[in-house]
Amino acid sequence: MKGFKILEIYLNFSCNQKCIHCFNGEDFRQANKDLKFSKVASDIFKMRKKGCNWLSLLGGEPTVYPEILKVVSLGKKTGYRRIMTFSNGLKYSDAGFVSDMKSAGLTDTCISVHGDNGELHEAVTGVPGSFNKVMAAIDNLKREKINVMIILVLNALNYRHFPRIVRFFIAKGIRNYMFFALKYQGRMNEGGDSNLAVRLSEAFSKIDEVRKIFAAKRIKFPSILHVPPCILPKYISHLDNYSTRPSTMLTQDGEAAGMEKAHKDLVFKPSCRECVCYAGCSGFDPGYAKIFGDQEFKPLKKV
Ligand code: SF4
């Protein structure tokens, strides 16, 4: 991301999948909260003038936004050097749509996966056949030379298979990854599926094995999101929950969307003030602490 200033736009809350850990709650999903194209366009212009050169499109599911091709095309015309979607991948199983997105200016997409087979993936997505569609999507995107990044959210069903899942996608030629811990908001807090909840220390218990796989394949080890440093101190330079640098990410309202934003929904416990990482830490998820308590979050004396 060096040399890039990112604009994030949440285009919609609509989605063609029903993931049981979706962090958009029922109130958001029911309401028609698609941004108007005129608002999206004016934000793209405004933030380009402020120096943003990377456009990230999120939702909901940005590919089901009715004017998605116009948005991507406008991003390209106004000079954004990278244009990325964060997607569940379903729409990209249509080769024609991928070709249209490429022509419009799409350079990158992040695809959320939940396993290396239909059973693990569809236990989360709730859509039969979605795993095969994601596999087709990856092939279509690679054929069009659109960069693919895999997002793997670790949960109670898949964390034991973490190394196997990583090997599977590396064998498919994917070299960019992000690993996420679950967020305990939205569906997870609506009496959602407690079968997915897992302690952070368990979820990442195979991380050393995964790091060896990356090293053996000479693939850059990825970022890990939603995990505070006290859980994975050895991986501190990979944690988005920890930063000593100012954010270079802006929302369409011009708000910095790094640490400053994260601090809004996360919490600390009183002893966090004794932690050497306190100044740069975003805190931990209060929804997680409701289920598992806060004992895992132990102030660090050094890193
Ligand atoms: S103890 Fe608190 S401040 Fe330190 S890393 Fe954990 S959550 Fe962050």
* Ligand 1 within 6 A of CB of 275: yes
Tokens of 268: 């600390």
Q: Which of 263, 297, 301 to mutate to test the pocket of ligand 1 (most atoms within 8 A of CB)?
A: 297
Instruction: Domain of residue 203: give its range.
Output: 6-264
In a domain, residue 300? The reply is no
Least confident of 137-146, 202-211, 275-284: 275-284
CATH code, domain with 106: 3.20.20.70
* Number of domains into which the chain is organized: 1
pLDDT at 263 over 50: no
Dist. CA 225 → ligand 1 center (Å): 14
Model pLDDT for residues 18-64, shown as the tens digit of each residue: 777 676 666 665 656 789 999 999 999 999 999 999 999 998 899 99
In a domain, residue 277? The reply is no
Q: What is the per-residue pLDDT for 192?
A: 53
60 preceded by a cis bond (ω within 30 of 0): yes
In a domain, residue 275? The reply is no
In a domain, residue 240? The reply is yes
Dist. CA 173 → ligand 1 center (Å): 36
pLDDT higher for 273 or 250?
273
* Ligand 1 within 6 A of CB of 226: no
In a domain, residue 132? The reply is yes
Dist. CA 236 → ligand 1 center (Å): 12
In a domain, residue 174? The reply is yes
In a domain, residue 221? The reply is yes
Dist. CA 257 → ligand 1 center (Å): 20
Q: What is the per-residue pLDDT for 47?
A: 96
* Distant-in-sequence contacts of 270-276, Cβ < 8 A, 24+ apart: 271/298, 271/299, 272/297, 272/299, 273/299, 274/299, 275/230, 275/299, 275/300, 276/300, 276/301, 276/302, 276/303
In a domain, residue 270? The reply is no
Q: Which atom of ligand 1 is nearest the CA belonging to 229?
A: 5
* Ligand 1 within 6 A of CB of 89: no
CA distance 255 to 90: 30
Q: pTM for the whole thing?
A: 0.87
* Ligand 1 within 6 A of CB of 288: no
Tally of residues, the chain: 303
Q: Which atom of ligand 1 is nearest the CA belonging to 284?
A: 7
* Ligand 1 within 6 A of CB of 297: yes
